[in-house]
Amino acid sequence: MNQNLTVQEAEDHYQELKARGSQLDLTRGKPSSEQLDLSLDLENLPIGNFIEDGIDTRNYGELLGLEKMRQLGSEILGCKKEMVIAGGNSSLTLMAQYISNLFFQGSGEGPWSMHERNSVLCPVPGYDRHFALCDEFSINMIPIPLTGNGPDIEKAKSIVSNDPSVKGIWCVPKHSNPTGETYSKESIEGLLEIASQRKGFRIFWDNAYAVHDFKESAPLPNIFSLAKEKEMLESIIAFASTSKITFAGSGVSFMAMSEPNLDNFIKHYASMVIGPDKVNQSRHIKFFKNIEGLKNHMLKHAEILRPKFQLVDKWLSKQNFGSWTKPTGGYFVTFKSEPGLAKEIISLAKKAGLKLTPAGATFPYGVDPQDEIIRLAPTACTIEELEQAMQIFNACVALASVKKAASS
């Protein structure tokens, strides 16, 4: 498809694809069934031995999780085991519990509930579930642009220096959702500098794609090492999980923070949690054995995911409208249309049988000020389905683009 396409030609092609009656979905970054099958041996582990390091995993207790699971979490996140909680199947739950703790106990200047306004910086495009959490707690969200190497640090510094309500920032630092970028050392050091100038500032480090490379990727600098050098460990609250490693609904989540922060948080956490699912943690330990076993497992995921992202890039390269990211890991491709077209493209796609993430979902309050960002999640469908989906997507982009050009 090219920019010399007429409106009628674009319309005819679109109607032809629409008539097929497709039912396709690129909305959520879910593992495919083929990926989930990689972990079937979790279900085939011998049943009967529920003792792990002398602990009966069927019983209450071990609030912080099994030691071997905490060790695995520490190696995923790049910190000491003593800083890690191994929890249930959802890192989002841990995030909500930590934010709840901030409203009760605060992070240095009293409980957040005592303040009239609490704000966090939200790099955009970003993760819609972070925004949903902020909505739930009535936290004001301030968007800041991503640069391809992390947040716009100068913009963040300016906002924080002029707004005392800003108390933190959300980050997906590796293969970021949805742009796929990995934060540079300079970006991380900039975040730590901001944190050093605001007492109680928290960097919510959601490292959801820490081990999710599907081709050679830039390494993520270790924020804990950098923070320790600057005596800023108190500012880092990190999260990860096995949700896209084993079974999405039956994995293990992790949270890591400085030991003083952990001691403070545990008082709140213990009021809600008697102990995590240690049976599940134990079977994950047996399945992976160690971090090398986990990394080898992720190589199998990479073999499944790589062709899908190559296919998306191949199809997008066939047309001359907009721009898009070329990630080396993670679960998303971000397409940037001409300003003012994202809603139209998504609406056209829906009518043609292709579901896409709603326009604006990757921005706080669901508002993309330029109406140009579309998140594509190619992982859950088959290669054949993805071929059909991208054909429809290209047709929708072309039709919306040539219509706009014709009317201008």
Give the per-residue pLDDT at 4. 77
| Extents of the domains making up the chain | 7-29+294-407, 52-288
Residue 1 has pLDDT above 70, yes or no: no
Looking at residue 229, its amino acid is: E
Q: 52-288: which CATH topology? A: Aspartate Aminotransferase; domain 2 (3.40.640)
Give the per-residue pLDDT at 3. 63
Q: Which residues of 97-122 are buried (b: 16+ CB within 10 A; e: fewer)?
A: bbbbbbbebbbeeeebeeeeebbbbb
Give the per-residue pLDDT at 192. 98
Pairing label, strands 354-355, 333-336? unpaired
Give the per-residue pLDDT at 13. 97
Distances (CA, A) of 144 to 126, 155, 159, 286: 10, 7, 9, 42
Query: In the structure encoding, which two tokens stand for residue 195, read together?
Result: 């944190």
2: confidence class by pLDDT, cuts 50, 70, 90: low
Residue 24 has pLDDT above 70, yes or no: yes
- Helices 291-316 & 278-288, crossing angle to 10 degrees? 80
pLDDT in tens, 140-163: 999 999 999 999 999 999 999 999
pLDDT in tens, 217-260: 999 999 999 999 999 999 999 999 999 999 998 999 999 999 99
> May I ask the CATH architecture of the domain 7-29+294-407?
Alpha-Beta Complex (3.90)
Give the per-residue pLDDT at 324. 98
Compute the average pLDDT of residues 95-104. 97
Count CA atoms within 13 Å of residue 133 on its CB side.
Answer: 21
Give, for 401, the enclosing helix (H) or strand (E).
helix 383-407
Separation between Cα atoms, residue 314 and residue 259, nearest integer Å: 47
Compute the average pLDDT of residues 98-124. 94
Compute the average pLDDT of residues 156-173. 98
- Helices 291-316 & 67-77, crossing angle to 10 degrees? 40
Mean per-residue pLDDT over the chain, rounded: 96
Separation between Cα atoms, residue 221 and residue 186, nearest integer Å: 10
DSSP SS3 for 142? strand
Gyration radius of the chain over CA positions: 22
Give the per-residue pLDDT at 53. 85
Q: Residue 124: beta bridge partners?
A: 145
pLDDT in tens, 331-364: 999 999 999 999 999 999 999 999 999 999 999 9
Compute the average pLDDT of residues 118-125. 98
Give the per-residue pLDDT at 302. 98
47: confidence class by pLDDT, cuts 50, 70, 90: low
Compute the average pLDDT of residues 168-189. 98
Compute the average pLDDT of residues 208-213. 98
pLDDT in tens, 312-324: 999 999 999 999 9
Residue 44 has pLDDT above 90, yes or no: no
Q: Which residues contact 36 (CB under 8 A, 6 or more apart)?
A: 247, 248
Give, for 120, the enclosing helix (H) or strand (E).
strand 119-124
